[in-house]
Structure 1
Amino acid sequence: MVKVGDKFVERFHVSKLVYEGFISVFGDYHQLHTDAEYAVARGFQSKVMHGNILCGFLSYFVGMCLPISEVIILSQEIKFRRPVYLNDELVLEVVVQDVHDSVNVVEIVCKFRNLVDKMIVASAKLSLGITSDQKEI
């Protein structure tokens, strides 16, 4: 069960396994993500991790961490604010913004923070549909 104002926190590590797994599955070998010299020449510290790795973390959070057993992502809007690098530790902060009982929809807002400098690297808003007949919200 969730209600407006509920807060959740989850930690994620952008490990070599996550990075290589993303590339292996999706085949995105763009130089910004795979060539440190290329990325540095464009003003970054090193290779920039794929933004959609964070989308994968959101999917994991919704499917595995929320106390709602039958849920599906209806929509998702994410804004990438700062680059994420290999081995960054991220904290995902989630707040339930709204619950629409009449249509079985929950809206959440999310922020990814880099654990080292506490800066927000991405923010997101998701609408979630509750897929069961039972009211869990």
Structure 2
Amino acid sequence: MQSEISFAEIAVGMQFSYGQTITDADIKAFSGISGDKNPVHMSDEYAEQSRYKKRIAHGLMSASYFSAIFGMKFPGPGCVYVAQSLKFLRPVYIGDTVNAIVTVTAIDEAKRRVFFETVCKVKNKNVISGEAEIYIPLSK
């Protein structure tokens, strides 16, 4: 997945994506890393009684796919996350394929900052929306 794009090559409208199918193992691993063991993520019995009727993935797990794009694909290694806003719109279930998409909306050349619209989709429906700001180091 690794790709590198120089700061000079970045243009408004550029778009990159990353997709991953959510598994039970992913949810358990994220729970261990984050410390979030909410039973709506971890317990079938609990989740069946919830408004979702089955276990849901952690929202921040799906949102972390933006980091995969920024750090590995676009703009690539060396960039630094500065800010991210998130709005969680729909649940993500085990077996769903989450497609994270970032689109360049603005560039601040003086500060070497790039601004993005960020969205995660499942079956072409938005499950997360937001905005991100990334700093691009001089080496790029």
Q: What is the TM-score of this pair, normalised by structure 2?
A: 0.85
Instruction: State the distance in 1 between where 2:65 and 2:102 align.
Output: 12
* Mapping 1:1-137, distance limit 5 Å: 1-115=9-123, 118-131=124-137, 133-134=138-139, 136=140
Whole-Å separation in 2 of the counterparts to 1:68 and 1:34: 33
Moved over 3 A (4+): none
What 5-or-longer segments of structure 2 have no aligned partner? 1-8
SS in 2 for 1:82: coil
Unmatched tracts of structure 1, length 5 or more: none
**CA RMSD of the aligned region, Å?**
1.5
The 1:76–1:57 alpha-carbon spacing in structure 2 relative to 1, beyond 3 Å, is: same
Per-residue deviation, 1:68: 4.0
Q: Secondary structure at the match of 1:103?
A: coil
In the aligned structure 2, how far is the partner of 1:63 from the partner of 1:38?
A: 36
> Identity over the aligned pairs, expressed in percent?
23
Aligned length: 132
